[in-house]
Amino acid sequence: MTKVYGGRRVGLACLSWLAVLLSFVASSRADEPVLSFGVVPQTASTRLAEQWLPFLDEVGRRAGVRLVFRTAKDIPAFEAALAEGAYDFAYMNPYHYTVFHQKPGYEGVAHEVGRRLTGLIVVRGDSPYQRLEDLRGKPVIFPAPAAFAASILTQAEFARHGIAIAPKYVSSHDSVYLGVLSGHYAAGGGITRTLEALPGDQKAGLRVLSMTRDYTPHPVAVHPRIPAPLAARVVAAMQGLSADETGRRVLDGVAMKGIAAARDADWDDVRGLDISLLRHWLGQVVE
């Protein structure tokens, strides 16, 4: 037979202890550093948040910080935010990094492992186009002028083969894929990670027509105002995600297999392209 001791008083005591415990947990979380984490808007902001919030929550829990998700309405607005140093941490494209490392001084500290960054030209699965040459004079869409792999590398591939196209820019990678699926555009530029993150029926409706050469992938970069030991805690937490089931689940949510520590020189392959598109952010004249 179950015995009851003190009845209501025991229940009130338990509630009191629970309140103290919750207060302690809330207090301990309140003492954690709060850091903004900007994510390049490759997809719609609602879907971007769905993908990244679990990742940031788990990394923050392991690092003992609170990582607050931030993005921008489109890629040009994200570039403006980077130029202002608006984010403590940022996941940006490699070309963005080579620019905003110079000013305001973002430092690349991590990147995805197991996959290099490649630009893709995609067409509808039932498209008659089989070669880049088939797209000569056709309307082709891209996320934004400075989207590194999806726009810069893919358009360089057309130029290298002497193929003139009619480029058009839309707000995100999602908009590119949907525009191609709709049949309004012959082809579009994207990358493997965002293509793989599409809902199954959309991904099945697209076909990769061409791929560019590969480069070091998107960095996670930290603003110079963040102390190095604090940044190192966040990087260590990211590196540890692939070691357990919970971590692998949040990595899968952002379509990554793992994350490795990085250094600035890792993006020298991108610097070697000598792209001038965003030099205006550095106060330089673009010729």
Residue 6's pLDDT is 43
Please say if the pLDDT value at position 9 is more than 80. Answer: no
Average the pLDDT over 22-44 and give the result: 78
State the virtual CA torsion across 271, 272, 278, 284 in degrees, nearest 10. 100
> In sequence order, which ranges of 109-187 are alpha helices (DSSP H)?
154-160, 173-182
Confidence of residue 282 (pLDDT cuts 50, 70, 90): confident
Q: Give the three-class secondary structure for 260.
A: strand
Determine whether 83 is exposed, middle or buried from the number of CB atoms within 10 Å of its CB (0-12, 13-18, 19+): middle
Average the pLDDT over 138-160 and give the result: 94
Q: Which of 28-37, 152-161, 162-171 has the lowest mean pLDDT?
A: 28-37
Tell me the pLDDT tens digit for each residue of 92-120.
999 999 999 999 999 999 999 999 999 99
Please say if the pLDDT value at position 30 is more than 90. Answer: no
Helical pair 45-63 and 228-239, crossing angle rounded to 10 deg: 110
Residue 14 vs residue 115, higher pLDDT: 115
What contacts 169, CB < 8 A, 6 or more positions away?
Answer: 141, 142, 143, 144, 145, 151
- Domains along the sequence of the chain with CATH: 33-115+217-278 (3.40.190.10), 117-215 (3.40.190.10)
Tell me the pLDDT tens digit for each residue of 73-95.
999 999 999 999 999 999 999 99
Residue 279's pLDDT is 76
d(CA 153, CA 214): 9
Contact 175, 227 (CB under 8 A): no
d(CA 2, CA 5): 10
Tell me the pLDDT tens digit for each residue of 240-256.
999 999 999 999 999 99
Q: What is the percentage of the chain residues whose pLDDT exceeds 90?
A: 82
Tell me the pLDDT tens digit for each residue of 218-242.
999 999 999 999 999 999 999 999 9
Q: Give the three-class secondary structure for 68.
A: strand
**What's the whole-number average pLDDT of the chain?**
90
Residue 117 vs residue 15, higher pLDDT: 117
Backbone angles phi and psi of 232, in degrees to 5: -65, -35
Q: How far is the CA of 171 from the CAs of 182, 239, 278, in angstroms?
A: 16, 31, 18
